[in-house]
Structure 1
Amino acid sequence: MQTFYIHIDGNIESAEFLPLVYCVAKEMRVTGYVRNVDRGAEIFFNTSSLLGASEFLQKIKQGAPYVEITSSKFKKIQEHHFSDFNIYNEDDGREPVHALIPADIAICNNCKDELHNSNNRRYHYPFVACPDCGPRYAILKKLPFDRRTTSLNNFSMCEACFNEYNQVNNRRFFSEINSCADCGIKLSILCSDLSILSRNIEIVFSLIKHFLNQGKILAVKGIGGYVLICDASNPDAIALLRKRKHCPTKPFALLYPDIKALENNFEISEQEKYLLQSNASPALLLYPKQSSANNVALSYIAPKLNRTEVMLPDNALFELISHEFGKPLVIAGANISGSPVIYKDEDATLYLFDVVDFIVSHNLDIVVPQDKSIMQFSKYENQSIILKRSLGMAPSFAHYKSKSNYCILATGASLESSFTLAYMDDTFISQYLGNGESYEAQLMYKHTLEHLLALYEVKPDVIIADKNAEYFAHQYATELAEKYGTEVKFVQHHEAHFAAVLAENRLLHSNKPVLGVIWDSGGLGYDDNIWGGEFFKYENNEMMRCFHIDYFPAVKSDKPIPEPRLAALCTAGYVWPQKDLWQNKFTSSELSKYISLALNAATFSSSLNSIFDAVASLLNLCDIQTYSGEVAGYLQVLAEEYVEENGFVMDESYFKADAQFYPIPTALLMQSVITDIQADLDRSYIAAKFYYSIVSLIGKVAQRTHINDICFSGDVFQNALLVDWIQEEYQDKYQLYFHINLSPNNENISFGQMVYYENKITSVFFDTDKRLRDESERAFGNQKVQR
């Protein structure tokens, strides 16, 4: 017999990975032991040959689809005899285990079968889980992950569950979240007077179905927190939910009981089907079929949009609710606008009865709340786009290995807040934490960060923040630096975006220059203006802003302007000042006020997001939006109408070939759009021509900078039609790189800040006040300021 050693690194749920290794060893008659170690698991074992050892490793990898193995080290060592195979899961005096944090896993098919099998002892038990599925991060109090370090530690296993836990051939062998109706989590349904209608599982589900059929609105506690539900086929119930939640147009999501029912109503690819049924089980934006109108009130669910957010049950409770009801359900966030999800029972009973008629709750504490992750695929090129990275995806980020031997904390930006922690070669990116301007979101941010630091018993050695001192994330960074006695470094907003997409695509050490197209709502630039329509060049570990959209007055700082009419006035008012353009958008006093503010503005913006809003307002799609991204969604729908009929074919751009190009002329763009509007051209043509014009900028800049590799980041690239058009226009001409495992929006800022700092990237800034016109100056810059 020979002796071998394997070290397995990755997102390993150690307490449940070890039994898998044990079972494979028993099957192959391998002797030795497996144990948790720093950064994963290690195996010492006897087998007859190198080939047998290799087969052992392969079987372990194949048997663990829920484990994200990032690396495995394999070698023959000095011979040692083992008589049996064992699991060592105690510390044995060693240093604390540095395990990666396991993500929550959607309910598996085996648990679904048990849930619906009347002969199974877990029939209709709404918290069924196993080594392949169930809550992890949501209930984790300490590391490594096992029962005693989770909120399930409050529940003692009954004899039947304990026997399963200890039986080698049982699929719940060493299942740390094992429970059943006899010993596990209890379900209840509450009235507005806080009385409990029932704790009996069958009665609770009967009442849920009855109330939904009556048009009632319910709050239900899921893995990551509470959500609101009602009958998706009942327009009155949806209208009531909108009225109570004060969200007249914000799209809701749809929950379908199974993939077959969803396929009947929506266009869906094999890749989308796979994702919906994956471990992460994100929600997806899909195009409805005509048949959807027969059983869901789509015009009430996603008003004026052509895609709908859909999902499948990700846990046993929602699996039962949706199957018992038998029809699609509306799903809405149980939160105050801009705030994170409500997850504490006391907060649910305090706030949610203003919106709901009944609350369905349970007695398992949620430690880390999370929203549902959301993704979409572009329609024509099938490019995946993460819109929200949260439940099932956060927080471990195995796609980037930190190079630092100390702890780095990057605090992110504002609107889509997140933080990144780099520690002992590993990277953790928090789930989406809400709008950082909300007090509730700030509390959630602090809670989540403190929890993560406590899990690893570390404190940051350096803290990275955005330049903008108005951001909560900036202010909290300085507060933490004082608390921990460490330094704070600041990274410019768009350079952080660029660093994030470079790192995701492994271009940080490219031997060629890379063009960064960074378009978003805005972030503070080096010149104290609001940037947001930016082109950067990256070469030799140096970033340089080489082109940008021309500035226009910023009368609302760097926040997305909630009034697209104001964006239209700021970008077009001085170009086309006829009052009839504005008379239906402003009162006389409003117009005078805003013109005065614009004329006397101290800060200017190049935000491309604001230009999208401005064009939408000029096309009378929306003048005052009620949720972030509303007006951009309407403009996309309008442009898609043209593309559906004509393809990606456009006669000309709004940017003329002979136009001066530094800075990129906002005034010319807006004047041309208004000219077409006043010529009464088709609105879908104008919207599509605007898209084409924006896309054409990328080619112009790439030509002038002679760069072939192009990266894209910023919330504008959540726009699937824009991504499609870029790929249609340039995929055969340039190398195009988009975000892969992160959202293009501000959620990636914290990761980019960490990457920028850790890789010692430097910045070169053009003095834009000099309005460089000469070709060589505007492309590469003789007058530049080192930052």
Structure 2
Amino acid sequence: MNALIRVTGAVQGIGYRPFVAELATKYELKGEVKNLGGIVEIIVLGDEENISSFYGELKKSSPSGSIVINVSLEYLKENEPEGLIGYSGFRIVESSDNFEKSYLPVFPPDIAICDKCLEEMHDEQNRRFGYPLISCASCGPRFSILRKLPYDRKTTTMDVYCLCPECNNEYQKGRRRHAQTISCHSCGPQLIFDAFDSEGKDLSDTAISEGHDLSDTVIIDKAARIIQNGGIIGIKGIGGYQLAADPYNYEAVKKLREIKGREQKPFAVMFSSVSEIKRLCKVSEKEEEFLLSSAKPIVLLDKKNCDFSENVCGNSGQIGAFLPSSGLHVLLTEKTGPLIVTSGNISGEPMIIADDIFRDRFSDKIDGVIWYKRDILRPLDDSVIQMYKDSEGNDEPRFIRRARGYVPLPLFLNNTLYDGILFEAYGADLKNTFSIGYGDRIITSQFLGDMEDYKTVKLQKNELKEFCEIFRVDNLEAKSKLIICDKHPGYHTTELADSAYKAAETVKTRLITIQHHHAHIGSVMAEHGLKNCIGVAFDGTGYGTDKTIWGSEFLVCNEVNFLREGHLKPIRIVGQDEGMKNAAISAVCYLLDSGLEIPRGIMDDSELTLIRAALANNINAYPNSGMGRLFDAVSCILGICSYNSYEGECAVRLQNAAEKYSDMNVFSDNDAIILPIKISDEDNVMDVTDMLKELLSLRDEESRELLAYSFHKAIAEAVKRIAINIRSRHKISDICLSGGVFANRLLLYLCDKMLKEEGFVVYYNRILPTNDGGISAGQVYLANLMIENS
């Protein structure tokens, strides 16, 4: 009996073909397995019962790191396939460039070092003892070194290394069978250490001989000593260059902040083990699961007994903790203990992946760098996850940043995209990602950065081009292309989309613009397969259809467009960029608009005079209904934080203060002060004048923590009241919450709880970031609904 079995999903780069070969041998089947573009194709010959058992096992089991979407079985004619005539066993054959034309292929992300490789690296009797770049069929770099599919050694940046006899033997059998990143002390990339003086001159005596058994140990020891003595070391990680420093050394952390131009934003800390993390942080079962996962993301954890230098996490109540993703990081942290490990770039610029660029940029600022000769093709920063405990007590992961360990895994849709259309979405200017969509999936890029930096604009153009090449979009049966961007006419992404539209030649192309907050809600709808909902999108700013700044939107989203059914009353805020950073400006503008006195200490008299004059003469003053600006204003009014030295700092510290109260009172509703928010019956516009007046009268009499919590509760109550009003008009009970403000877990908890108590079905982002990183996927999903129903 002959059969053809096809497996679709993330089944390349994780040892799937060796897994199939071993399983076929177990069931006494002959045949072959090969990568066919984005799928695995298997031909088997043997007893029908054995083929059936083999097929059944393929459907229920797979190697670690794989994602199997579908396994299909088709029995063939009795005559034996020509390629197998005279062949008695089961073989792995060369990959084919023939690609399926009906869907985008799935490829796994970079995978952190597995337990078996970890054991080998620590085993003195193993030939890979102490080899920092150890990997196997189940772990190691994947997407960061991939040139094109199908995934073979020759299509990665490992192609420059020839296997030694021992690695070549392992490549034929065992757990490294067809492991494309297979290497060792003798034949793979080796560590190199360069030390620098204050002018960037290389101080290395002579290059430590590559391939020598002790060279890696010497390098790790040297780097560890520098860090322990207060120095800063560069590290070539899996997805790009990083900077490492001792979190216990105040001066080292201060120097690191100066180098990166990062004044206050908390640093993430890499630990050697979960037990080490538990010493300083509270770790739930779900948080531990993500810390130990193959992605090894940064997980934001509540502090317990943190004894780091005060300038590591600042005023944050959390630590961004993570475990080593490579053997190099494991060996280094075992020597040093916890390490600040942060992206090797100047804040606001893309992560550096090129050896020469990193050296040019940092050699005069740091004490040395550990690197190796294997090219990284695309920057993949560490992913960041925060666990959210919903109102029913369930821990839910939520992405702050989605990159290494998760990209390029697609979002699989409940409803397929419109047949024959390739979707290309350019996202937002902040926290930019782009997305491509076709068939039943959307592939969203890694976090790229903010487009105000020209380097990020160039990176987005290059990455989109490479994504399209890797995932063979030209091979798809697309009859037309839909390019989607934000409605903001001044966005860099809008300009890029418009340029791509004008340059399109090969297929029929259309350009669609989608409002920013509608796209936020679209990202949630995409995750949950919704076509109609109430959407609540809270963030700092977004270009509205009335050409003003939005950011507190209550939308009714249908299959064609949206209705704006509620928002904060717009107030004029002076200054654009500075107005977003300086919370005192937001506070003064809100108080002046409400006819309230400005308390002493919020702003100098000279600055206040300028703000009054600008408002009176309408100079650089723009209507703004962003919820983020209200959070900034309240944070300043309560004396918690008056300037955003990094994005969202004032709101984060306001949340921290509220959580101190709520932790003590276990989210008690009884003790919170009622802060009135007036909501108009006609258009659901929220007027916070009375609330601000109450906050001013109480700020010297009540604790900041209580007032901060009461503010969060007041906003959640307003969300509930407006949602009830909208439901009564439109008869919709599904409600989606998205936007950067909903990264605030306390606000999300209160909204979730109150809405569910009123019978709403509440949805929010789990797979995509709730901030602007999810915008591009939302753009694809909504554009598809518009096309379907136009």
TM-score by length of 1: 0.90
* AA in 2 matched with 1:329: L
Q: Does 1:595 align with 2:612?
A: yes
Shift of the 501–244 alpha-carbon distance from structure 1 to 2, 3 Å rule, reads: same
More moved, 308-317 vs 70-79: 70-79
Match for residue 252 of structure 1? Answer: 267
Match for residue 230 of structure 1? Answer: 245
Q: Tell whether the 8 Å contact from 1:409 to 1:464 is kept in structure 2 after alignment.
A: yes
Deviation by residue 1:259-285 (Cα, 9 ceiling, x = unmatched): 222222221112111111112111100
Alignment partner for residue 179 of structure 2, among 169, 175, 179? Answer: 175
- The separation in 2 between residues aligned to 1:251 and 1:149, in whole angstroms, is 38
SS in 2 for 1:247: coil
* AA in 2 matched with 1:698: V
Q: Tell whether the 8 Å contact from 1:522 to 1:559 is kept in structure 2 after alignment.
A: no
Q: Does 1:190 align with 2:215?
A: no
SS in 1 for 2:580: coil
- The separation in 2 between residues aligned to 1:95 and 1:545, in whole angstroms, is 42
The offset of 1:754, in angstroms, is 0.9
The offset of 1:560, in angstroms, is 7.3
SS in 1 for 2:488: coil
Shift of the 556–55 alpha-carbon distance from structure 1 to 2, 3 Å rule, reads: farther
Q: Tell whether the 8 Å contact from 1:676 to 1:686 is kept in structure 2 after alignment.
A: no
1:597-612 counterparts in 2 under 5 A? Answer: 597-599=614-616, 600=618, 603-612=622-631
* AA in 2 matched with 1:584: G
Shift of the 407–639 alpha-carbon distance from structure 1 to 2, 3 Å rule, reads: same
Q: Does 1:371 align with 2:381?
A: yes
Task: Report the identity percentage.
Answer: 28
Deviation by residue 1:219-276 (Cα, 9 ceiling, x = unmatched): 1110111111112222232233223333232100111111222222221112111111
Q: Does 1:635 align with 2:650?
A: no
The offset of 1:557, in angstroms, is 4.3
Q: Does 1:671 align with 2:676?
A: no
The offset of 1:680, in angstroms, is 2.4
Shift of the 145–171 alpha-carbon distance from structure 1 to 2, 3 Å rule, reads: same
Alignment partner for residue 258 of structure 2, among 231, 243, 249? Answer: 243
Q: Tell whether the 8 Å contact from 2:679 to 2:685 is kept in structure 1 after alignment.
A: no
Alignment partner for residue 433 of structure 1, among 425, 445, 448? Answer: 448
Q: Tell whether the 8 Å contact from 1:15 to 1:145 is kept in structure 2 after alignment.
A: no
- The separation in 1 between residues aligned to 2:662 and 2:65, in whole angstroms, is 40
- The separation in 2 between residues aligned to 1:761 and 1:721, in whole angstroms, is 37
Match for residue 730 of structure 1? Answer: 755
The offset of 1:491, in angstroms, is 0.8
Match for residue 427 of structure 2? Answer: 412
The offset of 1:87, in angstroms, is 2.4
Q: Does 1:387 align with 2:400?
A: yes
The offset of 1:369, in angstroms, is 0.8
Match for residue 278 of structure 2? Answer: 263
Shift of the 54–676 alpha-carbon distance from structure 1 to 2, 3 Å rule, reads: farther
Deviation by residue 1:608-630 (Cα, 9 ceiling, x = unmatched): 01111111011122222211121
* AA in 1 matched with 2:683: Y
Match for residue 724 of structure 2? Answer: 703
The offset of 1:711, in angstroms, is 0.7
The offset of 1:573, in angstroms, is 1.7
The offset of 1:344, in angstroms, is 1.1
Q: Tell whether the 8 Å contact from 1:520 to 1:716 is kept in structure 2 after alignment.
A: yes
Match for residue 477 of structure 2? Answer: none
Match for residue 739 of structure 2? Answer: 714
Q: Runs of 5+ in structure 2 lacking a partner?
A: 209-214, 475-479
Q: Does 1:305 align with 2:300?
A: no
Shift of the 594–43 alpha-carbon distance from structure 1 to 2, 3 Å rule, reads: same
Shift of the 724–54 alpha-carbon distance from structure 1 to 2, 3 Å rule, reads: farther
Deviation by residue 1:277-336 (Cα, 9 ceiling, x = unmatched): 11211110011222x32xx33x321111111100000111101111122x1111222211
Shift of the 15–540 alpha-carbon distance from structure 1 to 2, 3 Å rule, reads: closer
Shift of the 555–136 alpha-carbon distance from structure 1 to 2, 3 Å rule, reads: same
- The separation in 2 between residues aligned to 1:438 and 1:283, in whole angstroms, is 25
Q: Tell whether the 8 Å contact from 1:131 to 1:175 is kept in structure 2 after alignment.
A: yes
More moved, 194-203 vs 372-381: 194-203
- The separation in 2 between residues aligned to 1:565 and 1:660, in whole angstroms, is 31
* AA in 1 matched with 2:500: L
Q: Tell whether the 8 Å contact from 1:194 to 1:349 is kept in structure 2 after alignment.
A: no
Q: Does 1:463 align with 2:483?
A: yes
Q: Does 1:314 align with 2:325?
A: yes
- The separation in 1 between residues aligned to 2:554 and 2:445, in whole angstroms, is 28
Match for residue 103 of structure 1? Answer: 109
The offset of 1:702, in angstroms, is 2.1
Match for residue 121 of structure 1? Answer: 127
- The separation in 2 between residues aligned to 1:330 and 1:236, in whole angstroms, is 13
* Residues paired across the two proteins, number: 750
Alignment partner for residue 586 of structure 1, among 598, 603, 609? Answer: 603
Q: Does 1:396 align with 2:417?
A: no
SS in 2 for 1:570: helix
Match for residue 527 of structure 1? Answer: 546
Q: Tell whether the 8 Å contact from 1:221 to 1:361 is kept in structure 2 after alignment.
A: yes
TM-score by length of 2: 0.90
The offset of 1:163, in angstroms, is 0.9
More moved, 378-387 vs 17-26: 378-387
Q: Does 1:347 align with 2:357?
A: yes
Alignment partner for residue 84 of structure 1, among 81, 85, 89? Answer: 89
Q: Does 1:497 align with 2:503?
A: no
SS in 2 for 1:665: strand
CA RMSD of aligned residues (A): 2.5
The offset of 1:679, in angstroms, is 5.3
Q: Tell whether the 8 Å contact from 1:108 to 1:132 is kept in structure 2 after alignment.
A: yes
Shift of the 603–658 alpha-carbon distance from structure 1 to 2, 3 Å rule, reads: closer
Alignment partner for residue 511 of structure 2, among 463, 478, 488? Answer: 488
SS in 2 for 1:131: coil
SS in 1 for 2:489: coil
SS in 2 for 1:631: helix
Match for residue 165 of structure 1? Answer: 171
- The separation in 2 between residues aligned to 1:362 and 1:637, in whole angstroms, is 41
The offset of 1:500, in angstroms, is 1.2
Q: Tell whether the 8 Å contact from 1:40 to 1:99 is kept in structure 2 after alignment.
A: yes
Q: Tell whether the 8 Å contact from 2:9 to 2:107 is kept in structure 1 after alignment.
A: no
Q: Tell whether the 8 Å contact from 2:640 to 2:650 is kept in structure 1 after alignment.
A: yes
Q: Tell whether the 8 Å contact from 1:677 to 1:683 is kept in structure 2 after alignment.
A: no
Q: Tell whether the 8 Å contact from 1:141 to 1:151 is kept in structure 2 after alignment.
A: yes
The offset of 1:372, in angstroms, is 0.2
Deviation by residue 1:185-229 (Cα, 9 ceiling, x = unmatched): 121111221343543212111101211111111111101111111
The offset of 1:439, in angstroms, is 1.5
- The separation in 1 between residues aligned to 2:27 and 2:568, in whole angstroms, is 64
Q: Tell whether the 8 Å contact from 1:6 to 1:75 is kept in structure 2 after alignment.
A: yes
Q: Tell whether the 8 Å contact from 2:579 to 2:585 is kept in structure 1 after alignment.
A: no
The offset of 1:25, in angstroms, is 0.6
Match for residue 335 of structure 1? Answer: 345
- The separation in 2 between residues aligned to 1:479 and 1:596, in whole angstroms, is 41
Alignment partner for residue 692 of structure 1, among 691, 708, 713? Answer: 713
Q: Tell whether the 8 Å contact from 2:526 to 2:777 is kept in structure 1 after alignment.
A: no
SS in 2 for 1:286: strand
- The separation in 2 between residues aligned to 1:656 and 1:562, in whole angstroms, is 25
The offset of 1:652, in angstroms, is 5.1
- The separation in 2 between residues aligned to 1:210 and 1:418, in whole angstroms, is 39
The offset of 1:450, in angstroms, is 1.9
Q: Tell whether the 8 Å contact from 1:98 to 1:456 is kept in structure 2 after alignment.
A: yes
Match for residue 773 of structure 1? Answer: none
- The separation in 1 between residues aligned to 2:399 and 2:97, in whole angstroms, is 42
* AA in 2 matched with 1:301: V
Shift of the 92–357 alpha-carbon distance from structure 1 to 2, 3 Å rule, reads: closer
* AA in 1 matched with 2:593: Y
SS in 2 for 1:704: helix
